[in-house]
Amino acid sequence: MEYNGILPIFKEQGFTSHDVVAVVRKILSMKHVGHTGTLDPMATGVLPICLGNGTRIIEYLDLDTKVYHCRMKLGLLTDTLDVWGSILEEQAVPTISEERIREALNSFVGMVSQVPPLYSAIKVDGKRLYNYARAGEQVEIPERNVYVKEINLLGFDNDEIEFRVSCSKGTYIRSLCRDIAQALGTLGTMTFLCREETGSIKKEDCITLDELRQLSPEAIEKIIMAPEQVAVNLGEITLNQEKVFNFINGGKVGKANFRVNKEPEADRVAKIEGYKLPINEKMYSYLVYGEERLLGIGRINKEIGYLKGDKIWKFSIK
């Protein structure tokens, strides 16, 4: 059976994101399977798996806001910035009040300049950072901007802090733990990470790989989500009926022939909160509807005002 759409998987510890794709591919006997939003092997949580035609929107779903539940240990620093790495330094933790912890967390809300971990897949001069690390080579890691929408303290006990954070694509929670600790005058290392949400997909919506193995094809079909269910950070546009054919055949549609129902989240953040999200132009895309169905994804040329398709399908993915 061929499936099309997004399968919400809860990734368990010990699996890479690519491992999950390989297992799903085998269970469903499908070739066209991909994932959005890589999770480290020891992290758990929501991993959207795109199936069939659903793989065409991976680059858009990957831009969704993520929510993480995290715990960190103070007074400890490792080479990977998590407890699964080699210890670089330990120190006594000073007495820290709850008020000071909250102040430190709140200082990271908004646009944040962040140095990614050395053990990460980011490329510098065409080479991934973890390859530099494994070879023992020195490399200058460039800072980059990320957006933290919200961060809340869940608890703290002596040398451990627990928090939940909502943030943009590209935010490294391991780096955030290190930086929070530095703001508190100490060292910090991540001890636990679970992605609880990505876009509109919550961990309660997900199934594990073991659960997937037990489901019938009909049951799997019911779990698979359509793109319009999950691409909540994109805007929404409705075309005038006479312009549907033009749009799906690659033509430009003037602003008099479409209605913006919802702006992209990136535009809302820029206008209301004063930040320009540091990702790419695809964040400013729209789900385009016509004839009461989803036609594809498009972007508006802000200077001229016309709409043009980026990803087109002549029928809804689901």
Q: Which CATH number is 278's domain given?
A: 2.30.130
Number of domains in the chain: 3
How high is the pLDDT of residue 291?
A: 82
Asked if pLDDT for residue 130 goes beyond 90, the answer is: no
- Binned at pLDDT 50, 70 and 90, residue 318 comes out as very low
Instruction: Report the DSSP pairing between strands 188-198 and 258-262.
Output: unpaired
Which residue type sits at 186? T
Active-site hit among 40, 62, 64, 267: 40
> In this structure, are residues 65 and 165 in contact, taking their beta carbons and an 8 Å threshold?
no
Residue 124 within a domain? yes
Higher-pLDDT residue of 26, 65: 26
Do 92 and 176 fall within a single domain?
yes
pTM for the model stands at 0.87
Do 172 and 95 fall within a single domain?
yes
Residue 317 within a domain? no
Q: Active site includes 267?
A: no
Do 165 and 206 fall within a single domain?
no
Which residue type sits at 95? T
Q: C-alpha 78: how far from its chain's center?
A: 25
CATH code of the domain covering residue 99: 3.30.2350.10
Determine the average pLDDT of the residues in 289-314.
86
Q: What percent of the chain has pLDDT over 70?
A: 93
Determine the average pLDDT of the residues in 149-177.
94
Do 98 and 167 fall within a single domain?
yes
CA distance linking residue 170 with residue 63, whole number of Å: 9
Asked if pLDDT for residue 274 goes beyond 70, the answer is: no
Determine the average pLDDT of the residues in 197-223.
95
> In this structure, are residues 23 and 209 in contact, taking their beta carbons and an 8 Å threshold?
yes
- Binned at pLDDT 50, 70 and 90, residue 233 comes out as confident
Determine the average pLDDT of the residues in 210-216.
97
Residue 86 within a domain? yes
Determine the average pLDDT of the residues in 262-284.
63
Do 260 and 307 fall within a single domain?
yes
What own/partner pairs with CB < 8 Å and gap ≥ 24 does 95-104 have?
A: 96/156, 96/184, 96/186, 98/153, 98/156, 100/184, 101/153, 101/156, 101/161, 101/184, 102/153, 104/180, 104/183, 104/184
Do 307 and 293 fall within a single domain?
yes
Asked if pLDDT for residue 92 goes beyond 70, the answer is: yes
Domain containing 60 equals 5-64+200-228
Residue 246 within a domain? yes
Higher-pLDDT residue of 90, 110: 90
Residue 318 within a domain? no
Residue 149 within a domain? yes
Do 78 and 101 fall within a single domain?
yes
Residue 195 within a domain? no
- Binned at pLDDT 50, 70 and 90, residue 272 comes out as very low
Do 183 and 257 fall within a single domain?
no
CA distance linking residue 195 with residue 46, whole number of Å: 6
Residue 117 within a domain? yes
Asked if pLDDT for residue 314 goes beyond 60, the answer is: no
How high is the pLDDT of residue 273?
A: 54
